[in-house]
A = this chain, B = another copy of it.
Amino acid sequence: MGGDFAPKATIAGAVLALREYPHLTKLFLVGDKDRIEAELKANEYSDPRIEILHTTQIVEMNDSGLDAVRRKKDSSISRATDLVKNGDAEAVVSAGHTGAAVTAAAIKMRTLPGVERPAIAAVMPTETNYFVLIDAGANTESTPLQLVQNAIMGATYSEHVLGYKNPSVGLMSIGTEDEKGNDLTKDTFDGLKKSGVNFRGNIEGHDLFENPVEVVVCDGFTGNIVLKTCEAIAHAIFRWLKHELYKSPFTKLGGLLAKPAFKTIYKKTNAEEYGGMPLLGVNGICIIAHGGSSPVAIKNAIRAAAEQIKHEVNPQIVARIKSYNEKAAASQPAPAQA
């Protein structure tokens, strides 16, 4: 039921996924039964792999994440996450209230052993590669330890799902010199050097696409702003360009001829191609889809969930976080004797 165009877009996306992915053995559709059935009918689709789970409550955008989970136990996000918690499903996909999805996953699935806080990993394109931006919005306040754990989780995802060997990690800051940044990044810098990840130091906005690392670490407030600003400026440029191209017959013709190039770049910068962002660090799989998800975006989010099941990222995260936590504990000075 979550998302700007739900349940229409979510159900249409589910239908696309079921049509394209025969290896999906079961898909729960969680929400208002009548509305789900109406949308399935509108899509002229029925499938024995679908099971509808009826829910009655709606999470509003101004509910807090905690309220949404505690007070609205019969919301679609609560019930869908229960399915994973109880072992009936392996993954949950939501295009709804991000805070509610994060809180539901953290409370019901619990965090992986050793992980302080789950974090959202957004996969973003450079000209030839992809990088993971983590945290893209799960936690608005973070500690240095949580940022180091974000780096470890992001690097694990980059390696095991995206296939990068020993991915490089950059700390999102406002200058590349070691001394630059705010209190949080300065306090995180040394931890990252000792974390075992391939840490390249501070990076700034200019490096994101021109001198890219494979993992960009930040708190969720900063990451969410980077993510949405990138989307916003990309949309703005294409919109401005379109208006400009219509200003003369020559540029209009030019625009028509150049259309395949525009399409390629537009596709690259279009969030819906990336199919949702995994919430890393929870004991299960949770995919956060864009609030404005189209049916194609929902289909891709379901595919992302299936991929994460296949790659078994969570055991790798647990092992690497355990190793880091043990090393960090060993390097702490012994408590002073009274």
Q: Which of chain B's residues has its CB closest to A249's CB?
A: B257
Interface hit among A43-51, A233-241, A276-284, A301-309: A233-241
> Is A326's CB within 8 Å of the partner chain B?
no
Known: A140-B182, A245-B258. A225 touches B226 (CB 8 A): yes
> Is A310's CB within 8 Å of the partner chain B?
no
CA distance A64 to B64 in the complex (A): 40
* Chain B residues within 8 Å of A86, by CB: none
Q: Which of chain B's residues has its CB closest to A227's CB?
A: B205
> Is A62's CB within 8 Å of the partner chain B?
yes
| Chain A binding surface, main DSSP class | helix
CA distance A182 to B229 in the complex (A): 17
* Chain B residues within 8 Å of A257, by CB: 250-251, 253-255, 257
* Chain B residues within 8 Å of A172, by CB: 225
CA distance A228 to B204 in the complex (A): 7
Q: How many copies does the complex hold?
A: 2
Q: Which listed residue (B126, B206, B230, B254) contacts A261, Cβ 8 A?
A: B254
For chain A, the count of residues having a C-beta within 8 Å of the partner chain is: 66
Interface pair B251/A174, CB less than 8 Å apart: no
Interface pair B253/A229, CB less than 8 Å apart: no
Known: A140-B182, A222-B225, A224-B174. A265 touches B237 (CB 8 A): yes
Interface pair B221/A174, CB less than 8 Å apart: yes
Interface pair B229/A226, CB less than 8 Å apart: yes
Q: Which listed residue (B220, B243, B268) contacts A127, Cβ 8 A?
A: B243
* Chain B residues within 8 Å of A205, by CB: 224-225, 227-232
Offer 13 A-B interface pairs, CB within 8 angstroms, sorted by A: A64-B179, A127-B240, A204-B224, A222-B222, A241-B265, A244-B264, A253-B254, A254-B255, A254-B256, A254-B257, A255-B257, A255-B261, A258-B258
